A and B are shown apart, each in its own frame.
Chain A
Amino acid sequence: MHALLGPAWALFRRELLLAARRPAEWAQPLVFYGIVALLFPLGIEAQNPALKVFAPAIVWVGALLAALLAVERMFRGDLEDGTLEQLLLAQAPAPLLVAAKFGAHWLLTALPLVLAAPLLGLMLGLDPLPVRVLTLGLLLGTPTLMFTGGFAAALTVGAQRAGILLPILVLPLMTPAVIFGGGAVHAASSGLPYAAPLYFLAALLALALTGLPLAAAGALRNAVE
């Protein structure tokens, strides 16, 4: 048990340590998130009641884009300095190591976005209950996003001309999360039961946690070959 989880834990700590020494990596997505959310009211008109209707979409899409900013570089440095090869050669199963890396990135870049969401929700005029549902939805949805994004980062790390390919690969895969995340908030706003869409988000999360590390590990092997 320890032999299995030890390397994953060590990798997890390494990622946190690296991030602690470069605060810009986790701070910048948060700043980006705030700016995107600020621009929408300016474009709509601040007193328009439609802002409340758009709020879940603004918060969700902003979180998707902000989280994807940092994902692009997830494996780039490791590939360049040879860490990636060592990780894949390690005795510990590669999917587990990959999952540890995704988990660390979620903690660093996505969790701050989730924590900022209630503030943005209130600023966009949502009531307390929809704000809670919005935050809970993001808490369930952002790990799915981070794992999908990590898989796409593994796919593109070996590509020479990736450009802005990564969001193009990730965003279509995230449509169900946006539908259920937004749907739960709208249900809560209109006094309807909102548990079902949250359960769907949890189901998507279970699927992402179990399936995507395997696919990402396979894609990484392809990249270093």
Chain B
Amino acid sequence: MWTWLHRLASPPGFYRFAQALAPWLYGVAVPLLALGAYGGLFVAPPDYQQGDAFRIIYVHVPAAALSLGIYTLMAAAGAIALIWRLKLAECAVVAAAPLGASFTALALATGMLWGKPTWGAYWVWDARLTSELVLLFLYLGVIGLNQAYAEARAGARACSWLALVGVVNVPIVHYSVVWWNSLHQGSTILSLDALRHPHISSDMLWPLLLTLAGFFLFFAAVWLRRVQNELLAREGNARWVTELHEHSAGTH
């Protein structure tokens, strides 16, 4: 087990692992997203209050869940990078930030599109919207910090520190804005009460679960690919990269 993990954490080991896994992740994610989109757009009935506008949750909810999940992952990878000085974890931090920023921007954009017909305004200073916007700025800070460094490893470690401090701050920001004001509807699927008496019709729920799974797998696949690219960019002169190159040149 430990030797396996050790091999996986080495750049060449991880590169091969990601090379094998990423196509499968794409292969599962795309049908899930297609099926979820079909279910969400054609099978699920219109909401009795929100009409067809609610259908945006099939993009909005997965994007919002990922925006928070990726920050947590990034901070966890940052802790690993700082404690064990693992080059792979540094790449994982740097590779995750632009993805997190994209999903956060997507969650904000879909939220605004949904807000106009439902609340009557594109933007309201509600707790979740505001903390999501702060999260976007935190991601942009990590990206900017990484780009400010000429030396890749120092930049990645600085980003790791920032992600760790940021992850402590995210719940504080969230609860401070909740305390400040709230208009956003509560979570519909994630509560104990909801498990006993579902707040959402099963026709509406299953496409959401499919797109949630599809978004997460899609993120995982893109993340793996980005980490691979980071590894190649940093280890361009390492022997395993040259061997890889010769190997692929040989097969073509």
Cross-chain contact of A155 among B140, B162, B168 (Cβ < 8 A): B162
Q: Is B97 an interface residue (CB 8 A)?
A: no
Whether the pair B180, A165 counts as a contact (CB closer than 8 A) is: no
Which of chain A's residues have a CB closer than 8 A to the CB of B194? none
Cross-chain contact of B145 among A169, A180, A215 (Cβ < 8 A): A169
How long is the Cα–Cα vector from A169 to B165 in the complex, in angstroms? Answer: 11
B contact residues vs A (CB 8 Å cutoff): 82, 130, 134, 137-138, 140-141, 144-145, 147-150, 154-155, 157-158, 161-162, 164-166, 168-169, 172-173, 176-177, 179-180
Cross-chain contact of B176 among A165, A179, A212 (Cβ < 8 A): A179
Cross-chain contact of A175 among B140, B148, B173 (Cβ < 8 A): B173
Residue of A nearest to B131 (CB): A175
Distance to closest chain A CB from B208 (angstroms): 30
A-B contacts, 25 of them at CB < 8 A, read A155-B158, A156-B145, A159-B148, A160-B149, A160-B150, A161-B150, A162-B148, A165-B141, A165-B145, A168-B141, A171-B137, A172-B134, A173-B138, A175-B173, A176-B172, A179-B177, A179-B179, A211-B165, A212-B165, A215-B161, A218-B82, A218-B161, A219-B161, A222-B157, A225-B154
Distance to closest chain B CB from A137 (angstroms): 14
How long is the Cα–Cα vector from A215 to B75 in the complex, in angstroms? Answer: 13
Residue of A nearest to B141 (CB): A169
Q: Main SS of chain A's interface residues? A: helix
Given A158-B149, A218-B82, residue A172 in contact with residue B138 (CB < 8 A): yes
Cross-chain contact of B148 among A165, A204, A211, A215 (Cβ < 8 A): A165
Which of chain B's residues have a CB closer than 8 A to the CB of A75? none
Which of chain A's residues have a CB closer than 8 A to the CB of B134? 172, 175
Which of chain A's residues have a CB closer than 8 A to the CB of B158? 155-156, 158-159, 219, 222-223
Whether the pair B161, A155 counts as a contact (CB closer than 8 A) is: yes
Which of chain A's residues have a CB closer than 8 A to the CB of B173? 172, 175-176
Q: Is A23 an interface residue (CB 8 A)?
A: no
Cross-chain contact of A173 among B157, B164, B166, B177 (Cβ < 8 A): B166
How long is the Cα–Cα vector from A179 to B181 in the complex, in angstroms? Answer: 10
Distance to closest chain A CB from B232 (angstroms): 23
Whether the pair A173, B169 counts as a contact (CB closer than 8 A) is: yes
How long is the Cα–Cα vector from A158 to B149 in the complex, in angstroms? Answer: 7
Q: Is A183 an interface residue (CB 8 A)?
A: yes
How long is the Cα–Cα vector from A169 to B97 in the complex, in angstroms? Answer: 14
Q: Which 7 A-B pairs have the closest CB atoms?
A: A159-B148, A176-B176, A172-B137, A169-B141, A160-B150, A222-B157, A161-B148
Which of chain A's residues have a CB closer than 8 A to the CB of B147? 161
Which of chain B's residues have a CB closer than 8 A to the CB of A179? 176-177, 179-180
Which of chain A's residues have a CB closer than 8 A to the CB of B141? 165, 168-169, 172
Which of chain A's residues have a CB closer than 8 A to the CB of B161? 151, 155, 215, 218-219, 222
Which of chain B's residues have a CB closer than 8 A to the CB of A223? 154, 158
Which of chain A's residues have a CB closer than 8 A to the CB of B180? 179, 183
Distance to closest chain B CB from A48 (angstroms): 21
How long is the Cα–Cα vector from A109 to B89 in the complex, in angstroms? Answer: 38
Whether the pair B176, A200 counts as a contact (CB closer than 8 A) is: yes
Whether the pair B145, A159 counts as a contact (CB closer than 8 A) is: yes
Whether the pair A173, B165 counts as a contact (CB closer than 8 A) is: yes
Which of chain B's residues have a CB closer than 8 A to the CB of A43? none
Q: Most B CB atoms within 10 A — which of A172, A180, A183, A223?
A: A172
Whether the pair A158, B154 counts as a contact (CB closer than 8 A) is: yes
Chain A 204-223 near chain B by CB (<8 Å), digits 1 or 0? 10010001100100110011
Which of chain A's residues have a CB closer than 8 A to the CB of B144? 165, 168-169
How long is the Cα–Cα vector from A5 to B135 in the complex, in angstroms? Answer: 38
How long is the Cα–Cα vector from A159 to B154 in the complex, in angstroms? Answer: 9
How long is the Cα–Cα vector from A212 to B168 in the complex, in angstroms? Answer: 11
How long is the Cα–Cα vector from A179 to B182 in the complex, in angstroms? Answer: 14
Q: Is A82 an interface residue (CB 8 A)?
A: no
